[in-house]
Chains A and B, each alone.
Chain A
Amino acid sequence: MGHGTPEWVFIGVVTAILIWVGAESWQVEHSLEYAPPNSETVRVIGQQWFWSFQHADGTQEINELHVKQGVPYRFEIVSNDVIHSFNIPDFAILMDAVPGRVNTMWNIFDETGEYLIECREYCGMLHMDMRARLFVEPNTENSTSSTSSTESEPTISQGTGTATIVSPGGSEVGSTGTGTMRVVEPGNLTQTPSGGTANGSGDTSSNGTSGDNATSGATAGGPSLSIPAGASTPGNPSYSPATLTVSKGDVITVSNDDTAPHTVTNGASPSDADAGKLFDTSIIMPAATATIDTASLEAGEHPFHCTVHPFMTGSLTVQ
C-alpha cells in the first residue's frame, strides 16, 4: 500500500461527504414534494413583462400578490409567451414559467410583511423590471371573533387597493436584512398625480429609467396624451385625459410618465378584430414619448388600450 493509501483515504472522505449531502438533500426535497391538501391555489401567469395572479375565488391581481400568513398556498405557474421564472427570494420560491406547461410550487408564508417577487429567467427587453410585490397579511380568519373576519373583508376584496393600507407612505422602510426590498412599481395610490405633471412615481422609483422626470407632453402645439405614474396598476387612472378629442390631422404626443412600458393601440381590447390596425405606438418606454398621426383616421370615436396592460383603456374622438 503505502503510496496509494492517503489517496484512498482522501477519496473515501470526499465520497462520504457527498453521500451525506445527497442524502440530506433527498430528504429535504422529498418532504417538500407534495403540497398539503388544504392549500389554496393561486395561478401565477408570467408575461412580458409583468406577473398576474388569479386566486381561487376569482380575484385577479397584477404585479401584486396578497396572501395570508400561515396558510399553505399552491402556485400553478404558467407563461403566456416566453420562459420566465417566478421567484420570491426571501421564501426560496423558484419555479420556471414555461409556455405549454403548468409547474407547481407550494409554500406557507410564515412572516408578515412586504416582499419582492422577481423574474429570474432572461425574458427580453424589460427582464430586469419584471418585478412584483408580495404582501403577507396576518391571517385574521383564524381568530374566534366573526366581526374581525368581516372587517378584513374589504382588505381582501379590494385587491390591489390594499397597497396603501398595508404599506402607507414610501414602502422602502424595511425591517429585516435581505427581506425587504424596495419595489419599483406601481406608485402609491394616494400620491398618484392626476395630470401630466407627473414626476415619476415619487422617490420610491429609482429604477432603470435613470430617474429623469418625465417631461409631460404638452410642449408642442398639438394635443397631448399622457400615461400617468401608477397606470400599470388596475384601478388607477390609465390615460390622461381618458377621453381625448382632437381634430383630424392633429399629431398627438403621447408621453409615458409611468415606470412601466405602455402602448396606445386602437381597439377596446387586444381581442378586437382591428386592434392595432388603425394606430399603434408600439412599446413606449418609461419617460419616452411617441406620436399618433390622426390624418388617416376617420372621424368618430376610436377606443384604445395598452397591449401590455389590457385593463388600461381610453377613447379618442376625431372631429
Chain B
Amino acid sequence: MVLELKKPRPLWEIIFSTHHTDIGLLYIIASMVALFAGGGLAMAIRAELFLPGLQVFSGQADFSRFFTVHGTTLLFLWLIPFAAGVGNYLVPIMVRYKDMAWPKLNAVAFWMIPPCMILIWAGFSDTTWNAYPPYSILKAPGPAADMWIVGLKILGLSSVLGAINFTVTMLKMKHPDLPLMKMSLFCWATLVTSMMIIVAIPTFAASLVMLYTDRLGVTGFFNAEMGGDPIAYQHLFWFTFHPEVYIFTLPAIGMMYEIIPTFSRKPLFSYYSGVIALVVIAVIGFGSWAHHMFAVGMSFTEKTVFMVGTLAAVPSSAMHVFNFLATMWGGRIKFAAPMLFAVGGILLFFSAGAGGVVNTAMPLDFLTHDSYWVVGHMHLFIMGTISFGFFGFIYYLFPMITGRMYNTKLANIHFVLLFVGAVLVFGVQHILGLYGMPRRVVDYLPIPELIIMNQIATFGGWMMGAGMAIFLYNMIKSTMFGKLADTKDPFGLGTGVEYYYDYARREPHH
C-alpha cells in the first residue's frame, strides 16, 4: 500500500520531490484546483443564461472571457494534468519499476503547469478556446490573448515531456517478466495517449507561434489582408485537437477498465479487444480532424473524406462499450461510488457517441454546427464521460492514497446530483441547438421555448455545482478525519483478490 498521507512530511519535501507518487499527487491536487475554479466559471455562465437579457455580466465581452477561461482551464488544466497525475501514480507500479524513467524531467513537466495556470487566469483572454484568427490576431485585446498563447505553449511542452517520460517508462523500463500484452489496460491507455500527444501537440505548438507573430504584425500566416488564410489555422488547430479528444478520453477508458472488472467481481471480457480498440483509435483518430470545419466552405470531396474518417473511429469506441457491458454481464456487481461513476459514464459515453454520429453526417452538421447542440455534445463527453471516469477513479484510489475511507453516503449523493444534472444540462442543450440557439452568446431571443430550456439547463448546472461542493467537502473531510480504511479490501468486495497494485514486487535494482 502506498499510504502517502499517513507519513507526515514537511511540505517542501513533497514540493521538491521527484518521486513519482509525490508528483502524481501534486498533479492530482493541481488539476482539482483547476476543476473547481473552472467549474465556478460555469456556474456564473449558467446563471447569466437563466434569463434572456443581461443579469450577471455587463455584456458579451466579460462573458466571452469567462467561457474562454472556463474551457481552457477544464480542458488543459483539469483533464490532462489529472490523467498525467494518475498515470504518474500508477504506471511505475503497474510496470514494476521504481520510478518514472526520468524523475527530474517528470518534476519539471509538472512545475510548468502552475505558471500556465497563472498566465491563463491573470490574462483572462476572450479568444474562445479555439482562438480562431482573424479575431484572435486582429481584434482580441492584449495582453490577455498573448498570455493565453504563451500559457498554452508551455502547457503543450509540459504535455510532450510527460508523454515522452510515460512512453519510455512503459516500453523500456517495465519489468523483464512483464510482456507488453500482459500490461494492464490502464497502462495501454496511457501509452497510446502519450504517443498521440507526441504526434499531435507539435502541430498546435507551431500554430501558436504563428498566431503570436501574426498578433505582433510581423507575419500574416492567418491574416487574409496579408495573403494568409484563416482556414489554415483551423486545419492545424483541429489536427491537434481532434486527436486530443481521444487524448482526453482514453485515460478515462483505461480507468474504467480498472474499475469495472473489480466491482463486477469478474475478469475482463476481452483483453485483446480492449488493446486493439485503443490502438486502432489512436491511428484512425488522426484522420477525421476537419469534421469540425464542414461549414468553412470545404469541397464535397473533403467533406466526404472526413465524414468517412469520423465514422471509422466509431466502432472502436463501440468495442469498449461492448467490453464493459460484457464484463458486467452476469457479474456480482457492487455499486460502490467508483462503479456508479463508471456505469454512469458508459451510459453518457454511448449517448454522446450517438450524438457524434449525427454531427458527422454532412447534411445534419449544418443544423448542429456552432449551436448549443455542440456545447451539449462536447460537455457530455468531457463532463459526462471523461470526468465521470475520473471521479470514479478518485474514489477508487482514495483509500490507497490516504489510507482513509471517503464518506460513502456523500459519494452516492455526489453521483446522483452529477448524473441527473448532466442529463438535464447537456441533454437540454442538444435540443436548444436544434432550436437554433448559437453557442457563445450572452443573450438569446426571449422565446418561451428557449427560456424554459435554458432554465432547465441552469437548474441542472446548479445541481452539478451542489454535487461538486459535496464532493469537495467529502474529499477534505475524509482525508483528514475519515475512518481508517481496510487497505486490503476497502470496498468490502470479499473475493480475496488483492485489489490494489502490488507495490512491493517492483524491480528493486535498476
Contact = CB atoms under 8 A, between A and B. Distances in A.
Nearest to B228: A100
A128 B300 contact: no
In the complex, which range does the number of interface residues on chain A fall in? 35 or more
A122 B307 CA distance: 24
A118 B60 contact: no
B436 A178 contact: yes
A118 B436 contact: yes
A10 B59 contact: no
Contacts of B322: 6-7, 10-11
A179 B369 CA distance: 18
A101 B230 CA distance: 9
A21 interface: yes
Interface in B363-420: 363-364, 366-367, 369-371
A32 interface: yes
A25 B357 CA distance: 11
A98 B230 contact: yes
Contacts of B434: 178
Contacts of A177: 449
Contacts of A252: none
A224 B464 CA distance: 50
A87 B436 contact: yes
Interface in A79-122: 81-83, 85, 87, 89-90, 92-96, 98-101, 103-104, 116, 118-122
A28 B362 contact: yes
| Residue of A11, A104, A120, A178 with most chain B CB atoms under a 10 A cut-off | A120
Contacts of B367: 92, 94
Interface string A4-47: 10110011001100110110111011101100000000000000
B363 A209 contact: no
Interface in A184-237: 184, 206-211
A25 B295 contact: no
B252 to A, nearest CB: 20
B53 A206 contact: yes
Contacts of B53: 206-211
A181 interface: yes
Nearest to A128: B441
A232 B441 CA distance: 21
A12 B322 CA distance: 12
Given A25-B361, A101-B231, A121-B370, A89 B436 contact: yes
Nearest to A34: B300
A99 B134 contact: yes
| Residue of A119, A121, A209 with most chain B CB atoms under a 10 A cut-off | A121
A122 B357 contact: no
B355 interface: no
B256 interface: no
A246 interface: no
Interface in B62-99: 64
Contacts of B36: none
Given A11-B315, A14-B314, A30-B300, A125 B59 contact: yes
B452 interface: no
B361 A120 contact: no
B319 interface: yes
A207 B442 CA distance: 11
Nearest to B63: A128
A55 interface: no
| Residue of B231, B322, B441 with most chain A CB atoms under a 10 A cut-off | B441
Interface in B344-371: 357, 361-364, 366-367, 369-371
Contacts of B439: 120, 122
| Residue of B135, B311, B314, B442 with most chain A CB atoms under a 10 A cut-off | B135
A76 to B, nearest CB: 11
Contact of B135 (A4, A19, A89, A122): A122
B435 interface: yes
Contact of B60 (A14, A120, A125): A125
B497 interface: no
B8 interface: no
A127 interface: yes
A28 B370 contact: no
A128 B135 contact: no
A81 to B, nearest CB: 7
Nearest to A12: B315
A242 interface: no
A30 B363 CA distance: 9
A131 B435 CA distance: 15
A98 B229 CA distance: 9
A248 interface: no
B489 interface: no
B300 A92 contact: no
Contacts of B134: 81-83, 99
A184 B52 CA distance: 12
B14 interface: no
A126 interface: yes
Given A32-B363, A208-B53, A125 B61 contact: yes
| Residue of B53, B363, B364, B440 with most chain A CB atoms under a 10 A cut-off | B363
A156 interface: no
A128 B442 contact: yes
A18 B313 CA distance: 10
Contacts of B270: 3-4, 7
Contact of A92 (B135, B366, B435, B438): B366
Contacts of A99: 134, 224-225, 230
B314 to A, nearest CB: 6
Given A119-B438, A208-B59, A128 B444 contact: yes
Given A116-B445, A206-B52, A206-B446, A123 B370 contact: no
Contacts of A123: 135
Across the A-B interface, the 7 shortest Cβ-Cβ residue pairs: A89-B436, A100-B224, A103-B297, A128-B441, A208-B443, A99-B224, A120-B370
24 contacts: A6-B322, A11-B318, A21-B357, A25-B307, A25-B362, A83-B132, A83-B134, A94-B367, A96-B297, A98-B296, A99-B225, A100-B225, A101-B224, A101-B297, A103-B297, A116-B436, A118-B438, A121-B370, A124-B60, A124-B135, A127-B441, A128-B60, A178-B449, A183-B445
Interface of B: 52-54, 59-61, 64, 128, 132, 134-135, 138-139, 224-225, 228-231, 269-270, 273, 295-297, 300, 303-304, 307-308, 311-312, 314-315, 318-319, 322-323, 326, 357, 361-364, 366-367, 369-371, 434-436, 438-447, 449
Given A82-B134, A128-B442, A129-B443, 19 more contacts: A7-B273, A81-B139, A82-B139, A83-B135, A89-B371, A89-B435, A92-B366, A100-B224, A100-B229, A120-B370, A120-B371, A120-B439, A125-B61, A127-B438, A128-B444, A182-B446, A206-B52, A209-B54, A211-B53
